[in-house]
Amino acid sequence: MASTSDQNQRVLSGMRPTGKLHLGHYHGVLKNWIELQHTHECYFFVADWHALTTEYDRSEGIAPHVTDMVIDWLAAGVSPGTATLFIQSRVPEHAELHLLLSMSTPLGWLERVPSYKDQQEKLKEKDLATYGFLGYPLLQAADILVYRAANVPVGEDQVAHVELTREVARRFNHLYGKEAGFEEKAENAISLMGKKSAKMYKKLRKEYLEKGDEESLSVAQALLDSQQNISIGDRERLYGYLEGGGKIILPEPKALLTKASKMPGLDGQKMSKSYGNTIALRDDPKDVEKKLRTMPTDPARVRRTDPGSPQKCPVWQLHEIYSPNDVKDWVQAGCVSASIGCVECKQPVIEAVQKELQPIQERAREYERDMKTVQSIINDGCEQARDIARDTMEDVRKSMGLVYR
Ligand code: TRP
Ligand code: SF4
């Protein structure tokens, strides 16, 4: 069982199953997930419904990537004992929350999300003037809120979606957090904390409400996190009561901005499937070698005797990631004086990439040989995720007055 404070630090993130994972994903996203899993309660999921928003006309192409992506995560070091791995469509509560949130989300909020128009422009060949595509960020909000996640590790391009999620949550709490008898319930919850904590809570609340002292607010929130005796519902009431408002049913998450991956592709642009410049995590070592050998270098080095400058060469960017200082010095000196050739210069990078991929591929092969284990990791993850999502939906329905029995 996660402790109360862990629950408030829950991390959630998802990835669309649109193809094989590559080194850009590894350096940009997966390494970050792997770090977070040691310090936080982590939920990572395959966003197959999100893939459908753009791939609806090729929906059969999604399935093959779903399990494969989970294998890539596991191979990269995401640990199923520590993190919960699941598939979005196996937890239908995401869809239910999406629907309920859609009732109160103004169209303008969705139309103004920058990725909406950008992606429509970029993927011109597709008809993305669909209801589902407009709702993409709202579905993402539901993904996050259904787990009451506190932290959402995402790249720059997704920050606007987390912002929208915060607004959607705020509006929801405002609309539905005003339960009858809120004050009495909150006061009652305070008394359940025990005398000392209750007194402290009241004092901190007063300081925050009267003087706007942010420090008191965060101390009071930490105090609530550490309470063992109160229910989740009461804790949320007291969270809301602290700020004077009603009950907080869906807490606002924050984006944990993942540093942009510095991983360059084979042409020096950002590594991305759409540029066709990737090294996949499961590329054969021979292919890795071939891809790197045929990589363009500084065009000034036409002949072996022509000097070049690493600054103009995508291979140098790879040295920056993979090579220790002495190798980097060797490249710098050798390139500008033409004392080394490009083939020679690439060799340490080839070896470093192969060495990095070797244990990943070894693990991937083990999982591929044991699909039963992979399936059971996914099944367990889906069940665990669903338990939490069900709890949230009960609260959501209750607060909206949708419980008719
Ligand atoms: N939109 C995200 C992306 O394209 C994927 C995603 C879907 C996601 N739901 C999420 C990320 C929830 C974080 C949280 O990368
Ligand atoms: Fe690039 Fe190395 Fe060739 Fe210089 S020597 S151009 S850094 S590959």
Asked, for residue 304, whether it belongs to a domain, the answer is yes
Q: Are residues 26 and 120 in the same domain?
A: yes
Q: Is residue 47 in contact with ligand 1, taking CB distance under 6 Å? A: yes
Phi-psi domain of 401 (left: phi exceeds 0; alpha: psi -120 through 50; beta: other): left
CA pair distance 128, 118, nearest whole angstrom = 11
Q: Are residues 317 and 189 in the same domain?
A: no
10-residue stretch averages of pLDDT, the chain, 405 residues long:
53 95 95 96 98 95 96 98 97 98 96 90 90 97 98 94 96 87 90 94 91 90 91 89 86 90 89 93 98 97 96 96 97 98 98 98 98 98 98 96 88
Asked, for residue 300, whether it belongs to a domain, the answer is yes
CA pair distance 141, 109, nearest whole angstrom = 12
Residue 7: the pLDDT is: 46
Asked, for residue 43, whether it belongs to a domain, the answer is yes
**Count of structural domains, the chain:** 3
Contacts 24+ apart (CB under 8 A), 222-229: 222/5, 223/197, 225/4, 225/5, 225/8, 226/4, 226/5, 227/4, 227/193, 227/197, 228/4, 229/192, 229/193, 229/194
CA pair distance 73, 212, nearest whole angstrom = 44
Classified as helix, coil or strand, 303 is: coil
Q: Are residues 113 and 164 in the same domain?
A: yes
CA pair distance 177, 41, nearest whole angstrom = 26
Q: Are residues 173 and 214 in the same domain?
A: no
Residue 71: the pLDDT is: 98
Asked, for residue 82, whether it belongs to a domain, the answer is yes
Asked, for residue 356, whether it belongs to a domain, the answer is yes
Residue 262: the pLDDT is: 78
Q: Are residues 158 and 19 in the same domain?
A: yes
- Which DSSP string corresponds to 309-334? -GGG-HHHHHHHHH--HHHHHHHHHH
> Phi first, then psi: what are they for 263, rounded to 5°?
-70, 110
Q: Among 259, 282, 275, which residue's Cα sits nearest to residue 21?
A: 282
Asked, for residue 208, whether it belongs to a domain, the answer is yes
- Give the domain CATH number at 324: 1.10.240.10
Asked, for residue 273, whether it belongs to a domain, the answer is no
Q: Are residues 21 and 36 in the same domain?
A: yes
Ligand 1: atom nearest CA of 12 is 14
> Phi first, then psi: what are they for 255, rounded to 5°?
-80, 130
Q: Are residues 48 and 160 in the same domain?
A: yes
Q: Are residues 386 and 348 in the same domain?
A: no
Last residue within a domain, chosen from 242, 272, 293? 242
Residue 8: the pLDDT is: 56
Q: Are residues 100 and 218 in the same domain?
A: no
- Give the domain CATH number at 163: 3.40.50.620
CA pair distance 317, 315, nearest whole angstrom = 5
Domain coverage including residue 229: 182-242
Q: Are residues 65 and 151 in the same domain?
A: yes
Sign of the dihedral defined by the CA atoms of residues 117, 123, 124, 129, in that order: negative
Q: Are residues 21 and 160 in the same domain?
A: yes
Cα three-residue angle 99-101-103, rounded to 5 degrees: 80
Asked, for residue 249, whether it belongs to a domain, the answer is no
Question: Which residues form the pocket of ligand 2, taking CB atoms under 6 Å from any ligand atom?
Answer: 297-298, 301, 308, 310, 313, 315-316, 331, 335, 340, 342, 345-346
Q: Is residue 16 in contact with ligand 1, taking CB distance under 6 Å? A: yes
Residue 237 Cα to ligand 1 middle (Å) = 29
Return the residue whose CA atom lies nearest to atom 8 of ligand 2. 342
